[in-house]
Chains A and B, each alone.
Chain A
Amino acid sequence: MFVDLIQNTLDGLTSGAAYALLAVGFTLIFGVLRRVNLSYGPAIMFGCYAATWFHVHFQGGLLLLAVITIAGTVLAGAYVERLCFAPHRDGSAIAAMVASFALWMQLEELAILAMPKHLYAFPALYEGRPLALGPFSLRVEALLMLLVTVATCVALHRLLYRSRFGLAVRAVIEQPVAAQLAGIDLPGIFVRIFAVASLVGAIAGYLIVSSSEQVTPMLGMWSTLKGMLAMMLGGLGSLPGAVLGGLALGLIEAHSQWFFGPQVRDLTAYLLLFILLALRPSGLWTTTRSAS
């Protein structure tokens, strides 16, 4: 029983790592642009499908496929940003969101047209037996996922706290009017942070499809949903919160699935979020900033 608990915790942290990256990407867009991007997951799916298509036709190594995934996601993300978010920058948040929903439909259909099968195999991140650490089993893919997630978070932290661009991004998150008055060019920041969010999301997507060794069109909605859920659990608009929310989501899912099965696993996550929103809308971890 104790062994199961630890094992589930390890598994939960692994899936939580991917959720954390998804949440971070989603939060970057929400925190900076103050917009919900329903095409976030679909853009990631598009990138993964681009890599799958390439692999099916030309065969590619892990690194090449990762690069294609990232390129595809950033491209799709730029398309979404131009059509859904740039035109509504000073306008309606809902219009931007519905437009992003419309493009979600587009991206999903594009993927299905290009690759009509419901499921495709994706090359494995690691071929080999899991590591045995005493009674626990640790898949090497899981370890890689955790490492890449940590590396990505560290890199992102450096970007945000050690670069001029990062300073501007944090300024926009905290006080968009003062940021503009300081001379920060909002549209330029938006475009670049969108690209960063796409990059982070692509990394998450690549880790997910290469460790589960499959890709489906449902990946789009699934990623957006997990990203949103984790973001809200951790505290709307807070980046450390997004990471913690992602890990928490992974842990909650792993443990409730063990005891109650997959449906109750999802039920638990939603129930927790609902209760959290009803009692403490600002999330489990918050900064002093209040979200509008």
Chain B
Amino acid sequence: MSALLEVRDIVTAYGKIEALKGVSLEVQQGSITCLLGPNGAGKTTLMMTTAGILKPKAGSIRFSGDEIAGAAPHAIVTKGVALVPENRLVFPNMTVVENLHAGAYRRNDQPEIAADVDRMLTRFPVLKQRAAQGAGTLSGGEQQMLSVARALMSRPKLLLMDEPSLGLAPLIVEEIFRIIAELRKDGTTIFLVEQNAHMALTVAHHFYLIEQGKVTFSGTPGSLAEDEVIKRAYLGSAKT
């Protein structure tokens, strides 16, 4: 069975500088797959390329067999891929509920959208408390919940998450990862970028290590000594 997401030899450049130098990986349906790596390795670039915000110079990305590399971001959302971006990027002057509705923009089934909004508010009780508040007034952890909920509003088959634990307190981070496990149980495939390798490895079925624009390791938790992985995820490997 082919993977839900197949990335093959993706090259993405900023002007003349290649941030991704030929990245290949796979995300299996129903799994939580992790992308680990030091800062600047290209994790966010890959996420943005998959979501369509950045256009790759070369390579292919297939989702459920369809080629999506270079497609417009809104078309990719329609296909069933949603990205929870780094730094949350909520709409600060819009209410929590409006943020959720924005996530459902591509959908036409109004009654179901309203039902989903209720479901999100129930699943993330902090959001229900602040439903009518401007998203900019929420705390970091609350904004992260909102960003995840917003992405879920499009009912994605594949959820991309870029550093969901960034800048959050440990308790909130635990909560986020509990939610990630829950989402997977509900049938959503998750492709997760994390700096917090330790936490990521507790939920991942498979992980990749990316360093300086190339995938340097692929395996399951336990296949490489955990402290080795964590070291390379934070610092990169010793050789250049």
**Physical contact A–B (CB less than 8 Å):** yes
Chain A interface residues toward B at CB < 8 A: 164, 167-168, 170-171, 174-175, 177-186, 287-289
- Which residues of A have CB within 8 Å of B52? 180
- Which residues of B have CB within 8 Å of A287? 93
A183–B154 CB distance below 8 A: yes
B73–A171 CB distance below 8 A: no
A181–B151 CB distance below 8 A: yes
- Which residues of B have CB within 8 Å of A182? 77, 102-103, 105, 150-151, 154
Rounded to whole Å, the gap between the CB of B203 and the closest CB of chain A is 23
A183–B77 CB distance below 8 A: yes
Smallest CB gap from A185: residue in B: B74
Asked, given contacts A167-B102, A171-B102, whether A181 binds B91 with beta carbons under 8 Å apart, the answer is no
A171–B93 CB distance below 8 A: no
Assembled-state Cα–Cα distance A175/B82 (Å) = 16
B89–A184 CB distance below 8 A: no
List 22 A–B pairs whose Cβ atoms lie within 8 Å, in order of A's numbering. A167-B94, A168-B102, A170-B93, A171-B94, A175-B90, A178-B85, A178-B89, A178-B90, A178-B91, A179-B102, A180-B52, A180-B53, A181-B83, A181-B85, A181-B89, A182-B150, A182-B151, A183-B73, A183-B74, A186-B74, A289-B92, A289-B93
B9 within 8 A of A: no
B78–A183 CB distance below 8 A: yes
Smallest CB gap from B72: residue in A: A185
Interface of chain B residues 49 through 97 with chain A (CB within 8 A): 51-53, 72-74, 77-78, 82-83, 85, 89-94
Rounded to whole Å, the gap between the CB of A34 and the closest CB of chain B is 16
Interface of chain B residues 141 through 157 with chain A (CB within 8 A): 150-151, 154
B136 within 8 A of A: yes
Assembled-state Cα–Cα distance A164/B113 (Å) = 13
Smallest CB gap from A170: residue in B: B94
- Which residues of B have CB within 8 Å of A178? 85, 89-91
Asked, given contacts A180-B52, A180-B73, A183-B78, whether A175 binds B105 with beta carbons under 8 Å apart, the answer is no
- Which residues of A have CB within 8 Å of B6? none
B98 within 8 A of A: yes
